[in-house]
């Protein structure tokens, strides 16, 4: 059984979190180092002062002992409580000092003291001074070091997070603009205030934001140039194609005439598709929204296509959409399934979802990964690769979501999901403004799609 690898939460990957951890670690390390140095220096100084004081007292006690005078308080020969190591050192003829507990010279209660001992006729002559004040001084210093270190860490962390937060907010703004540009909003710009004046010094984030804005402007100009070129070419082709169409009507009947007429129709269809794509790219399309029953619309599209397509109707649903564009999307999906797939082709309308599937080899890998591409088709079917591109663009215009996938049992599956219309009961009855029913309550007599669908 494979052991599951531990994965840290996603928020720990953010720059703010990493900066907080880094700043905290650095502040703690610096505070610990400075605190240790200060503690060591002050403790050494305090201990040295206490040692010098106790050794001076020991010299006075030694003089009194040698003169046979009474020993002052806080001293004695082999006094009780004298640390054993210090007693042994004095017995060996040497002097030494040590911090240990000893009875207070005045009240006799034990407490920290600085001991000093020296030899005296084979015994240990010792003196001790109160070390409590020095110990309290060192303890207070340690508390001050800890408190000031925590305060410095908190202040540094807050200041660092504020500074890093400003940087990360600007980075997130650049990322949001980049996502908007990738989604097609070529007017999006970061507009970092630091890039407004070229003479002003710029940091790295401002440099990235300026480069992103420059890239977006250049890309927008290039795409607009291409869109204008496509639209201009399509418009210019319309006039000679119209004359060519009229000229084909004057040709004598025969196989060559049919071939010419077929190619002219194909060129007219391609021209109309190019014009439609140029309008979609320019985002100049305006929808004519109305409420429609989705099932009957799908059925009309199938009848208008003239191709043998099985229609399956599930739960009825009403959608608020542009019927002409919806018919265009469904018609292109059906035409693409017949052109590049294999029968049977099945259209299923279940709720606000329309699915078109065939039983052919399925969509190519490039389409499943990155969506349809213009003028790219695979397989033996004919087409110029614009049908699914137009279907995807029109689906976005009407607020739908078009997805391409492989059917579980083989074949291509295109699924269009539309926003379902929810009627609110306002007491006016079940009217359907702009719906599929005519004034007499029957079906809309106009059951044909506007414009013949062109699959990819």
Which contacts (CB < 8 Å, 24+ apart) does range 127-136 have?
A: 127/54, 127/57, 127/58, 127/60, 127/61, 127/74, 127/75, 128/54, 128/74, 128/75, 128/102, 129/50, 129/53, 129/54, 129/57, 129/74, 130/104, 130/105, 131/50, 131/99, 134/46, 134/47, 134/49, 134/50
DSSP conformation letters of 69-80: PPPPTTEEES-T
pLDDT tens-digit readout, 322-344: 899 899 899 989 998 888 888 89
Q: What is the pLDDT of residues 108-148, one digit of tens each?
A: 677 888 889 999 888 889 998 888 888 888 899 999 999 99
What's the Cα-to-Cα distance from 422 to each of 197, 239, 320, 394, 425, rounded to whole Å? 51, 45, 9, 22, 10
pLDDT digits (tens, 9 = 90+) for 184-234: 788 888 888 777 676 667 778 888 888 888 888 888 888 778 777 777 777
Using CA atoms, how far residue 233 sits from 131, 229, 274, 276, in Å, is 100, 6, 9, 13
How is residue 52 written in tokens?
Answer: 């010098």
pLDDT computed for residue 1 by the predictor: 46
CB neighbours of 298 closer than 8 A, spacing ≥ 6? Answer: 311, 313, 330, 347, 349, 354
User: What mean pLDDT comes out for the span 8-25?
Assistant: 75
Q: Is residue 417 over pLDDT 70?
A: yes
The pLDDT confidence band at residue 8, using thresholds 50, 70 and 90, is low
Would you state the torsion angle of the CA atoms of residues 286, 288, 291, 293, taken in this order, to the nearest 10 degrees? -90
Residues 346-363 have pLDDT tens digits of 999 988 999 999 988 888
Give the angle subtended at the CA of 406 by the CAs of 181 and 390, to the nearest 5°.
45
Indicate the pairing of strand 401-406 with strand 412-417.
antiparallel
What's the pLDDT at 56? 92
> Which of 42-51, 198-207, 311-320, 424-433 comes out lowest in average pLDDT?
424-433
pLDDT at 440: 40
Query: 111 versus 61: which is more confidently predicted?
Result: 61
- Determine the pLDDT at residue 6: 59
Least confident of 237-241, 319-323, 352-356, 402-406: 237-241
pLDDT (mean) for 37-46: 91
Q: 3-state secondary structure string, 319-366?
A: EEECHHHHHHHHHHHHHHHHHHCCCCEEEEEECCEEEEECCCCCCCHH
pLDDT at residue 54 greater than cutoff 80: yes
Q: Provide the mean pLDDT of the chain.
A: 80
For residue 430, name the pLDDT band (cuts at 50, 70, 90). very low
Answering whether pTM is above 0.95, one says no
Residue 144 has a pLDDT of: 92
Strands 345-350 and 309-313: parallel
Asked if the model's pLDDT at residue 301 lies above 80, the reply is: yes
Give the residue, 7 or 149, on which the prediction is more confident.
Answer: 149
Average pLDDT (97-115) is 76
Q: What is the pLDDT of residue 300?
A: 92
| Mean pLDDT, residues 377-387 | 60
Q: Which residue has the higher pLDDT, 323 or 272?
A: 323
pLDDT reported for residue 452: 35
Read off the pLDDT of residues 305-327 as tens digits, 9 standing for 90 and up.
Answer: 888 998 989 888 889 888 998 99
Q: Does the pLDDT value for residue 275 go beyond 80?
A: no
Give pLDDT, residue 3.
Answer: 57
H or E element, residue 99 = strand 96-103
**Per-residue b/e over 6-15, b at no fewer than 16 CB within 10 Å?**
eeeeeeeeee
Banded pLDDT at 407 (limits 50, 70, 90): confident
Which pLDDT score, from 0 to 100, does residue 75 have?
A: 86
| Beta-bridge mates of residue 130 | 113
């Amino acid at each position: 059984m494979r052991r599951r690898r531990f994965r840290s939460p996603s928020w720990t990957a953010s720059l703010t979190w990493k900066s907080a951890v880094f700043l905290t670690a650095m502040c703690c390390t610096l505070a610990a180092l400075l605190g240790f140095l200060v503690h060591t220096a002050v403790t050494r100084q305090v201990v040295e002062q206490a040692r010098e004081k106790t050794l001076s007292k020991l010299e006075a006690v030694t003089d009194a002992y040698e003169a046979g005078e009474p020993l002052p308080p806080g001293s004695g020969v082999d006094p009780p409580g004298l640390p054993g190591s210090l007693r042994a050192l004095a017995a060996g003829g040497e002097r030494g000092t040590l911090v240990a507990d000893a009875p207070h010279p005045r009240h006799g209660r034990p407490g920290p003291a600085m001991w000093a001992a020296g030899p005296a006729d084979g015994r240990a002559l010792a003196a001790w001074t109160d070390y409590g004040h020095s110990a309290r001084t060192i303890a207070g210093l340690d508390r001050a070091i800890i408190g000031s270190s925590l305060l410095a860490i908190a202040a540094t962390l807050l200041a660092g997070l504020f500074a890093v937060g400003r940087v990360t907010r600007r980075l997130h703004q650049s990322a949001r603009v980049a996502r908007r540009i990738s989604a097609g909003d070529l007017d999006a710009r970061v507009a970092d205030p630091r890039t407004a004046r070229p003479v002003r010094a710029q940091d790295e984030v401002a440099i990235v934001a300026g480069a992103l804005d420059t890239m977006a402007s250049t890309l927008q100009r290039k795409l607009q140039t291409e869109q204008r070129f496509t639209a201009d070419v399509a418009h210019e082709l319309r006039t000679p194609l119209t004359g060519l169409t009229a000229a084909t009507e004057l040709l004598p009947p025969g196989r060559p005439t049919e071939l010419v007429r077929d190619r002219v129709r194909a060129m007219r269809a391609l021209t109309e598709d190019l014009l439609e794509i140029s309008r979609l790219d320019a985002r100049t399309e305006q929808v004519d929204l109305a409420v429609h029953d989705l099932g009957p619309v799908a059925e009309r599209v199938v009848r208008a296509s003239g191709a043998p397509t099985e229609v399956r109707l599930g739960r009825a649903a009403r959608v608020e959409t542009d019927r002409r564009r919806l018919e265009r999307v469904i018609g292109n999906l059906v035409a693409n399934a017949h052109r590049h797939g294999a029968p049977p082709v099945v259209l299923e309308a279940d709720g606000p979802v329309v699915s078109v599937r065939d039983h052919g080899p399925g969509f190519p890998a490039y389409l499943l990964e990155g969506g349809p591409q213009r003028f790219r088709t695979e397989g033996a079917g004919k087409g110029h690769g614009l049908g699914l591109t137009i279907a995807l663009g029109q689906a976005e215009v009407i607020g739908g979501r078009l997805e391409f996938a492989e059917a579980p049992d083989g074949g291509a599956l295109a699924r269009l999901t539309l926003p379902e219309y929810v009627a609110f009961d306002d007491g006016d009855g079940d009217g359907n403004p702009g719906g599929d029913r005519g004034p007499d309550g029957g079906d809309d007599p106009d059951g044909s799609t506007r414009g013949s669908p062109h699959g990819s």
